[in-house]
Each structure stands twice: as C-alpha cells, then as structure tokens.
C-alpha cells in the first residue's frame, strides 16, 4: 500500500502501534514528513519508536522532544527529525528551530502535535491521527495532507 493512499488501522497494544510505525518506515522515501495528531497518551512517541526501528535507529534512543522541541537521530539508514510542536506559539519559532530545513532535507521529519501548526506548512505530509479507543486499542488513520483553501504549497510538498 502506498504511503500516498489513505488507510485506517486498529492496533491492539503498543507493540502493534510500534510495528505499524516500523512498517510505514519501509514505505517512506527520503524527504518524507509525517504530521502526528493525537491526545496525550494516544501513542505518538510509541509510533515514532517503531518508525525509528524501521529506519534502523535504536528505538531506546527515541525520547519525546517536549522541552527541546527537536531531536535528531542520524544513526539509521535515513536521518529522523522528531519535532514537538506543542510549545510552539509563534510562526517565528518555526524558523528558529529550522523546521523548513528539516522538511527540505533528505531525512524523515515527524511532527508531533502537528494540528497546532498552519496547515499550509504540512501540505504534502502524511497525517497520522492516533485516537484512543480503549486502554490498549488505537485507531490510526493515515492520510495525505491536502492543501487548505487558503494556502500555497508548503515546504514539505513534493
């Protein structure tokens, strides 16, 4: 299944969520970006650990970048840039952390709390929405981000 197609997957525990991330990593091309959306505890970091595993990055190295905004993992077959947009409140902060450079790089950029960013920035990314169904079950919806009615192409479109 192409990462440009839409899909909905139900996972029944953290290991299945990680396995989905790992599987998706095998489908991604250099320069891909993922826009993660989900409430606290939905499994965003767990999904990213699986993605890292699929990129041959030791999953135990993957931590949430909450207080530093960006973590870089360069030891895999492609670099992984893990951005946390939760604390970003002004557009200038996106420039300060170098978001555009990450999105234009040959690595994989993953943005947690992507729903806090302008949609035009995310155009061309894959939206990964994680919803809590029960203590262990998650509904994970993966869809390409479509252009909004107001915006030009974002830096991660291709």
Can you give the pLDDT of all 158 residues of the chain as single tens digits?
445 578 999 999 999 999 999 999 999 999 999 999 999 999 999 999 999 999 999 877 787 766 678 888 998 999 999 998 888 877 788 778 888 888 889 999 999 999 988 887 888 899 999 999 999 999 999 998 865 544 433 344 33
Measuring CA to CA, which residue among 78, 97, 77 is closest to residue 89?
97
Across-strand partners of 80? Answer: 73, 108
Structural domain that includes position 59: 7-140
Distance in angstroms (rounded) separating the CA atoms of residues 38 and 158: 25
- What per-residue confidence (pLDDT) applies to 146? 67
In-domain check, residue 149: no
Judge whether 8 and 139 are in contact, CB under 8 Å.
yes
In-domain check, residue 15: yes
Distance in angstroms (rounded) separating the CA atoms of residues 88 and 86: 6
- What per-residue confidence (pLDDT) applies to 15? 97
In-domain check, residue 157: no
- Residue 142 in tokens: 């993966």
How many distinct structural domains can be found in the chain? 1
In-domain check, residue 117: yes
| CATH code at position 45 | 3.40.50.300
DSSP 53-86: HHTT--GGG----TTTSEEEE-SSSS-EEEEE-T
């Amino acid at each position: 299944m192409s990462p440009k197609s839409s899909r909905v997957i139900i996972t029944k525990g953290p290991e299945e969520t990680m396995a989905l991330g790992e599987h998706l990593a095998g489908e991604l091309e250099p320069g891909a970006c993922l826009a993660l959306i989900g409430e606290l505890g939905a499994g965003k970091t767990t999904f990213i650990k699986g993605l890292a595993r699929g990129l041959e990055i030791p999953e135990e190295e993957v931590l949430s970048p909450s207080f530093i905004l960006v973590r870089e993992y360069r030891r895999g077959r492609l670099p992984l840039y893990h951005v946390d947009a939760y604390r970003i409140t002004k557009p200038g902060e996106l420039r300060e952390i170098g978001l555009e450079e990450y999105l234009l790089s040959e690595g994989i950029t993953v943005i947690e709390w992507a729903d806090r960013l302008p949609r035009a920035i995310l155009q061309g990314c894959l939206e990964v929405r994680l919803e809590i169904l029960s203590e262990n079950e998650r509904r994970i919806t993966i869809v390409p981000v479509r252009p909004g009615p107001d915006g030009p192409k974002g830096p991660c479109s291709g």
